[in-house]
Structure 1
């Protein structure tokens, strides 16, 4: 039996169609493009049907979750991937709605999750008075927010946290960090009236920071928590009567905030001073060396002069 080696030519119209489909697919996958989660969807990250563009994002493709609608229900996103998680180290993920990330294989228990999220940058703006909730480990170079922030219920590996927030009312770090956090900025940008502050940056787990800049807003350290900071730059507004006590440091009972280099910027007089070694506490704390008006709670801030060298090589920086 002989086969005819000649094949029929592909019609020009079909060639054009195939070319356009291929070109369209390639354009969707270009680095820097954005893939959008289908709003009000609950389900697996790895289901193409949950993405507006019809495909699961790959590395280099940015990811977006919705447009703000305070009345929408919280989207539940499952990243169960047999322990491989979602790893997009060259992508940015953005949130503009209420989202919870979990690992279905953990049956709702964050401590059992073996899948995590890894992105270059995360912009976590919640909605409707609710934060973005992470019941899985999170890795990122920079995590920022200007609304509500994030709740982290599993370990984090984040270099920079920028809590520059109109409603800084939901930030919570409830788990440990794999490495010291290089930089934390707390600056709630809601105007000069202290009464407009509606929340705090809450630390509910032992953490280390290389540099912490506390400009405007509240810092809350939970009971019995130990926080180590190489350099803490604190902006003191307490001498401005109209802005009294708008950014206190809350240190609850038995908690310790240990700082190598504690620097206070007096906003009213435009003066920077380094604080001397010793223990600092609230005005009614008789167990400390220095009673100050910007600390609230029964815990202590301890300034020491020991050398600080964190495990990842961050040493005490100069202002």
Structure 2
């Protein structure tokens, strides 16, 4: 959630998640995390694990474009489930129960599961009835438009749905205490909740699943209102707040994922900002692996391979069609005909000799 913005014009509002723009305390953190996780090495063709430059631009954003991962900061800025907010809990005397906090966290997980399933479903439109790529559906002659009403290309719509899921999973590491540590110089409390110091990926973010995930007893995300502060006010009075828990902002190297200059209070404690970013990078890669697995489970290995190629390659029609079943059959047939012909010619030559 950071600033309510469009790709051309933006208006300031409180920074409330990994950043999406340059300015207002943000450093395009979502874009940089996504690039560190998903970019192919310079000049390398994608093998399905990474995204080539133009395709990565659509997922991560570039210039003034938010990219798919930044889309929730345009249209879901006030939806807590899109950013894993409001799942706060502290053992002892606290305004919310563990069950209430877990319910809010499940709202987030279910919201992201919906986006994940949306990506899997839309991917079907990348192929025609014969299992071949549809040129108009994978073309990137122009950037994707983050507007479901006007964007029709299946590649863009699939990438956007997946990017929206990634946004929430990345925010989970900034907005929760999953990977961080409390300030050791202060007592544990609502303004200094305990840190779990757990690794990524998180089993809580099982977007392929359908059941409620197991939630650690001390897991918390921050309560958020527009007047976000410590101590909390309005609905967040007496509660762990986003302002007190987030590790949203700092500098991230988009190539290596290394971090410097954290700016939020919780992010400045130890290496909390670095842990949040590292967790988000690992989770991003994990979710891409899970999406690939979901495509294979839903469409079969051959079609899924073609879909994955189309999503990750900048020129799918030239780079991926050779991988389609029909093309493979043709190539093998031509090869076999050539071998038979060469054998027959060699036989004739030996007979004549």
Q: Which has the higher strand share?
A: 1
Q: TM-score, normalised by structure 2?
A: 0.22
Q: TM-score, normalised by structure 1?
A: 0.23
Higher relative contact order (CA 8 A, sep 6+): 2
